[in-house]
Amino acid sequence: MKLEKQVASLELAEKLKELGVKQESYLGWFTSNSPRAWLYWSKNGPFNSEAGIGNEHCSAFTVAELGEMLPKDLYDEEDGQWDNVLSCPNENDWICAYRRYYGEDGTWSTTYVEMANTEADARAKMLIFLIENGFMEVKLES
C-alpha cells in the first residue's frame, strides 16, 4: 500500500493545521513553489512542522495518529446517550462514524458519518467535523 494512502491528504492536513491541531507527527507534507507536494519522514522522532524548514509544510497524520486524536465516545447531553466511534470499509471507500447502540433489540443508529477514499481521510474529516462543530476542542501546547 502506498504511504500516501496511510496518511491524511495534503488538503485535509492543511485544514487540520488551520484549525490549530498540534503539528507533531513522524510524517509531514512539504510543498514549494510547485504544485507538487512531498511526504517527509523524520527518523529522529516526531517532527514539529512549526519549527520550519523554509517550505510550506504541515503534519501528515497517519491512520493510527488520527485514531488516537478522535474521542472514543461522544456524550449527548440532550438525551443522555453515548456515541462510540467506528472506522470500516464500505464498498469502494471508508467510513468513520459515531453510532449508538439501542440495546434490547440490538439495533444501531449512526449519528455522525464521514466518508472518504482512504481510512486516514475519513478519520481526518471526522476530526475536522468534531472541531468545527464544537464536539471537541483543540489541545494547544502549554
pLDDT tens digits along 4-20: 789 999 999 999 999 99
Beta strands in the chain (DSSP E): 24-25, 27-31, 37-41, 47-48, 56-59, 73-76, 81-90, 93-101, 108-116
H helices of 4-142, in order, are 10-18, 63-69, 119-132
- Distance (Å, rounded) from C-alpha 9 to C-alpha 61? 9
- More confident site: 62 or 37: 62
**pLDDT (mean) for 37-50:** 66
Alpha carbons 124 and 9: distance in angstroms, whole number: 9
Q: What percent of the chain has pLDDT over 70?
A: 81
C-beta of residue 42 within 8 angstroms of C-beta of residue 26: yes
Average pLDDT over residues 36-65: 71
Cell numbers of 122, please? 475519513
Confidence of residue 123 (pLDDT cuts 50, 70, 90): very high
Residue 53 vs residues 11, 17, 47, 72: alpha-carbon distances, Å:
20, 16, 11, 35
Global pTM reads 0.83
Cα separation, 16 vs 125, in Å, equals 9
Query: Which of the two residues, 59 and 53, has the higher pLDDT score?
Result: 59
